[in-house]
Amino acid sequence: MGGLVLQLWGVESLRIAYAGSDLPDLELPTPVRGAPTDDAPTKAVLYRTLFDEYWPRVRRHVACFIDNSEEVDEIAAEVFVVAWRKLNPAKPMGLRWFLRVADNKLRDVMRRSQSRTRAIEAMTRGMQASEELHPLEALALRQALQSLNARERQVVVLTYWDGLSAGEVSDVLRSSEAAVWTTLTRARQKLRGQLEAKEADA
């Protein structure tokens, strides 16, 4: 089980487990000797570690849905403002918490904008230039991604691009693992259909 080795002032070490997490241990910076022992510096030290670990992950996750780096930074910043406010040093939040809050922020943005079009454009950017994809594969992928509904898009991003397991995805989405598998299977079916259609046309 993953956990957090937290060095506190006046305390040798303290292991704090992320609830249900398989994340590796995080190394915290060495504390300043003689620093005060109240919560504020402890929280700041812990927060820096969480920020350094998860800021790139959250930005990357948001960038899967939004093709505007400034807006990606703004949304990620909101997530980390919330994290600072809610951080309890005795129970630090893990990656799944950050992704869930990011998804809430994204939904908030998407409710106000042309969400589907924007998400598709963001998800398919750079695909044609990818060296890993044959042009027909890229075309099939683009069309498959266009046919996904919002929940399928979320599952694809969390599974393939955030690299989460089905259990972790189900935790982020607050749904059952079976529902995640079903959704993922539907998404795969859509891609399979596009690939086979392209193959038949070729």
Partner 1 sequence: MSVSDDDLDRLFRAANPAPPAEFASLRAKDIALRENIIRGTVTPVRARRRRWAWAGATTAVASLVVVTIVVASILLPSQQAIALTPPPLQYSNARPLAEVVSDAHDALARPGGPEQKSRVETLSWGWSIDMAEESVEVVPQYATFTWSPEAGASTVIVAGESLWDDDDRPEGVADSPYEPGEVISDVSTPPDQFIAPPAVLELDGADRAQLTSALESLGVPEDASSGQLLVGIGQLLSFWTLTDEQNAILIDMLVEADGVTVLGETKDREGRPVVGLRVSDDDSPYQDTVLISARTGRIVGMENELTEPMDFIPAGVVGYTMWGLPNR
Contact flag: residue 186 with partner 1 (CB under 8 A): no
Least Å from the CB of residue 128 to partner 1: 11
Count of residues touching partner 1 (by CB under 8 A): 64
**Enclosing H/E stretch for 119:** helix 115-124
| Amino acid of residue 107 | R
Contact flag: residue 44 with partner 1 (CB under 8 A): yes
For residue 116, what are the β-bridge partners? none
DSSP per-residue string spanning 166-198: HHHHHHHHTS-HHHHHHHHHHHHHHHHHHHHHH
Site string for partner 1, 134-173 (x = CB under 8 A): ---xx-xx---x---xxx----x--xxx------------
Which candidate, 51, 52, 39, places its Cα nearest to that of 9? 39
Least Å from the CB of residue 33 to partner 1: 20
Question: Contacts with partner 1 in 65-94 (CB under 8 A)?
Answer: 67, 70-71, 74-75, 77-78, 80-82, 84-85
- Please give the torsion angle defined by the CA atoms of residues 87, 89, 93 and 95, in that order, rounded to the nearest 10 degrees: 110
For residue 39, what are the β-bridge partners? none
Q: Which residues bind partner 1 (CB under 8 A)?
A: 44, 47-48, 51-52, 55-57, 59-61, 63-64, 67, 70-71, 74-75, 77-78, 80-82, 84-85, 104, 107-116, 122-127, 130, 132-133, 137-138, 140-141, 145, 149-151, 156, 159-161, 187-188, 191-192, 195-196, 199
